[in-house]
Amino acid sequence: MAMARRSGSHLLSSFRPFSLLLQPPLADAPSPAASAAVASARRALSSASALRARDEKDAARWRESMDRMRNIGISAHIDSGKTTLTERVLYYTGRIHEIHEVRGRDGVGAKMDSMDLEREKGITIQSAATYCTWKGYQVNIIDTPGHVDFTIEVERALRVLDGAILVLCSVGGVQSQSITVDRQMRRYEIPRVAFINKLDRMGADPWKVLNQARSKLRHHNAAVQVPIGLEEEFEGLVDLVEMKAYKFEGSSGQNVTAYDVPSNMADLVNEKRRELIEVVSEVDDQLAEAFLNDEPITANQLKAAIRRATVARKFIPVYMGSAFKNKGVQPLLDGVLDYLPCPLEVDNYALDQNNSEEKVLLAGTPAEPLVALAFKLEEGRFGQLTYLRIYDGVIRKGDFIYNVNTGKKIKVPRLVRMHSNEMEDIQEAHAGQIVAVFGVDCASGDTFTDGTVKYTMTSMNVPEPVMSLAVSPISKDSGGQFSKALNRFQKEDPTFRVGLDPESGQTIISGMGELHLDIYVERIKREYKVDAKVGKPRVNFRETITQRAEFDYLHKKQSGGQGQYGRVCGYVEPLPSGSGGKFEFDNMIIGQAIPSNFIPAIEKGFREACNSGSLIGHPVENIRIVLTDGASHQVDSSELAFKLAAIYAFRQCYTAAKPVILEPVMKVELKFPTEFQGTVTGDMNKRKGIIVGNEQEGDDTIVVCHVPLNNMFGYATAIRSVTQGKGEFTMEYLEHNIVSQDVQMQLVNSYKAAKGTE
């Protein structure tokens, strides 16, 4: 596929012919007309060179500005210290003037947890953006949630960032959500540095975590620091690149003191520096040459090699510290500047809608036409707040911009830079920056341009919801506010879906888990003052077929006047495993047995029929429908007749295709003291869990198992009771799998009983 990179330079080739006029005269003095032409050419060349000089000066200015910019995200497993780390970063960079803890006793809470719910529960629910300056560099930071229920917040943050910090707990190590977050970083090709946090805690072992990252995450990594002491004795760090030791003094660790490497650590430090050089040499030819020739390697050489390897995603430098104890944060910030890429070093592609979606490599400069992606929406006090990542060009307050996805032309009424929930008005922003605009109506994932190009950015990955709840407002008067809340949340969060149960007429909300839906019910109550009645959580089952079945259905109705006539013949079959699609429709009719204008109505009928299978009324997936023949009537055939024929044909052959029920299966990671192993695994077996991993970590056992989601309701209480409150678990969606025969019978019978009572 051809790649096109557009150049922002101005080539003033139109002035070249005038240079002939500037050659010295060969004979007599020139005529007045010739002199005027020469003078005019000189003026043109002079203004052209002035224009070129101005362009070069502008280009140099924005290039320097972009070189001194970093867009980073902070991601990790639950409770690894992401928000605490961001709080320290904001304090040391002067953005905030006092530190507050995530579950602070002073009632203030961390700056990036701006929602009341976040402060009460001590968790991050929404990703929050901020920016700060460190040593003359501008750093845009997005702090993301750790809970798998809010995984879309991590997805959309990583979609627009150039680099990331993966935080790992020095005691917990690489946990289930660390693996998920790392997979997301890999999907969006994000260069990253790792930060092993909580070295002050009992049982801290950074070398164990570093090896886990190599084995579980397949990281090609090495430490760039060595801790001085661990647990209660953790007091500082040795930088393996500069070969200096650092201590963090002052009430909040704000004073960093450098001194020589302690003599009792010289052997360990030399060994770890050699390991760092060896690991980087494996992926960087320039350093490998110096290393193999036994040349002394300077700090600058090593730093340049680490940067090249990190930006190329071949190496991950590992930093260490304790954000809570204010140690190691400033060197980590230096590492972000030293090793993570600026916006110009990252390749971003757009799809050219005018050229059959050909991939175009964006130049990433302010000299180009505007290309910006709306990656997150929020309902603010002043209307919709849209977060934009600008990939090309400049956006100014008052400019007209075009939404490529809807074709609408919009004026930018207000342009702001975000600092958690605070805003700072700005007049313009250029490529590489993350800003927000007010009063622009759009959806998450829309692309904006200045109208000269028709590019769209590639979309982000949105997982399917796995759990549903029936909700309704307790008071009938609050129905308007209730609908307003659901519409807003659905627009903000692509994993939150709202639907109507066609049989009961209830409003059904679907999401990524119990916590996800609980938070939204709580937000409806707090933000819209609507008390909602919540039904029992419902699992999002699916239905599918296991074998091929033929259909031949004639829909014929005569009731005076024009009747209805449509006949469809063909077969249904399961899609091959791994095909990725959920529904396929193929028209294999040869000739005009059915006029081609009725085919879309037949497909629509089959799609509608697949929305509700006859076993338990859930959507039918992984099905291919092939139309092979049919018949029509000159007068009585219509789109409605063929749509109904398709619906009845599907119902006719569905049972013969041996349908089965699919249920969501979750990957569950349990961590509990080894003494409770028998009780916990016994309870898991009762829940039909399949144990796929079991390992010891000190006094704890870590068990990984695959469990049907339907058997996991209320498990938080169950694990606490069987482990005396010492056990914990995390859960994420794995796949939909066929249920056992007894469960299928049970589900079908309850569905029929529920239908019978209506």
DSSP assignment of 178-229: HHHHHHHHHHTT--EEEEEE-TTSTT--HHHHHHHHHHHS---EEESEEEES
Instruction: Say whether 83 counts as a known binding-site residue.
Output: yes
Q: Please provide the size of the chain in residues.
A: 758
Residues near 121 by Cβ (< 8 Å), separated by ≥ 6? none
Q: Could you say which DSSP state residue 327 is in? A: B
Instruction: Say whether 511 counts as a known binding-site residue.
Output: no
Give the C-alpha distances (Å, rounded to integers) separating 237 from 170, 337, 425, 595.
15, 19, 40, 77
Please list the alpha-helical segments (H only) found in 541-598: none
Token pair of 63, please?
A: 């290039």
Cβ atoms 262, 228 nearer than 8 A:
yes
Give the C-alpha distances (Å, rounded to integers) separating 112 from 140, 384, 418.
13, 20, 11
The shares of helix, strand and coil residues in the chain, as percent rounded to the nearest 5, are 35, 30, 35
Instruction: Say whether 143 counts as a known binding-site residue.
Output: yes
Cβ atoms 113, 371 nearer than 8 A:
no
Instruction: Say whether 200 counts as a known binding-site residue.
Output: yes
Instruction: Say whether 701 counts as a known binding-site residue.
Output: no
What is the rounded CA–CA span in Å between residue 618 and residue 641? 25
Q: Which residues pair with 385 in a beta bridge?
A: 378, 438
Q: Could you say which DSSP state residue 254 is in? A: -
Q: Say if strands 409-411 and 447-449 run parallel, antiparallel, or are unpaired.
A: unpaired
Instruction: Report CA dihedral (131, 134, 135, 138) to the nearest 10 degrees.
Output: -20
Instruction: Say whether 77 counts as a known binding-site residue.
Output: yes
Instruction: Say whether 199 counts as a known binding-site residue.
Output: yes
What's the sign of the alpha-carbon dihedral 87, 91, 94, 98? positive
Which of these, 291, 284, 285, 288, lies nearest to 307 by C-alpha position? 284
Cβ atoms 307, 327 nearer than 8 A:
no
Instruction: Say whether 239 counts as a known binding-site residue.
Output: no
Token pair of 697, please?
A: 């970590």
Cβ atoms 71, 160 nearer than 8 A:
yes
Give the C-alpha distances (Å, rounded to integers) separating 738 from 357, 561, 662, 666.
38, 48, 4, 13
Which of these, 96, 73, 196, 213, lies nearest to 145 by C-alpha position? 73
What is the rounded CA–CA span in Å between residue 534 and residue 518? 9
Which of these, 237, 262, 259, lies nearest to 319 by C-alpha position? 237
Q: Say if strands 192-197 and 163-169 run parallel, antiparallel, or are unpaired.
A: parallel
What is the rounded CA–CA span in Å between residue 156 and residue 388? 11
Instruction: Say whether 82 counts as a known binding-site residue.
Output: yes
Instruction: Say whether 535 counts as a known binding-site residue.
Output: no
Instruction: Say whether 80 counts as a known binding-site residue.
Output: yes
Instruction: Say whether 79 counts as a known binding-site residue.
Output: yes
Strand order in 358-361's β-sheet?
358-361, 349-352, 455-457
Strand order in 409-411's β-sheet?
409-411, 400-403, 447-449, 371-380, 383-392, 434-438, 414-419, 422-425
Q: Is 94 left (phi over 0), alpha (psi -120 to 50) or beta?
A: left
Would you tell me the crossing angle of helices 176-187 and 151-160 to the nearest 10 degrees?
A: 30
What is the rounded CA–CA span in Å between residue 293 and residue 758? 83
Q: 669-690: buried (b, 16+ CB within 10 Å) or exposed (e) per residue?
A: bbbbeeebbeebbebbeebbbe
Cβ neighbours of 188 (radius 10 Å): 17
Instruction: Say whether 78 counts as a known binding-site residue.
Output: yes
Diameter over CA atoms, the chain: 112
Annotated binding site: 76-83, 143-147, 197-200
Annotated binding site for GTP: 76-83, 143-147, 197-200
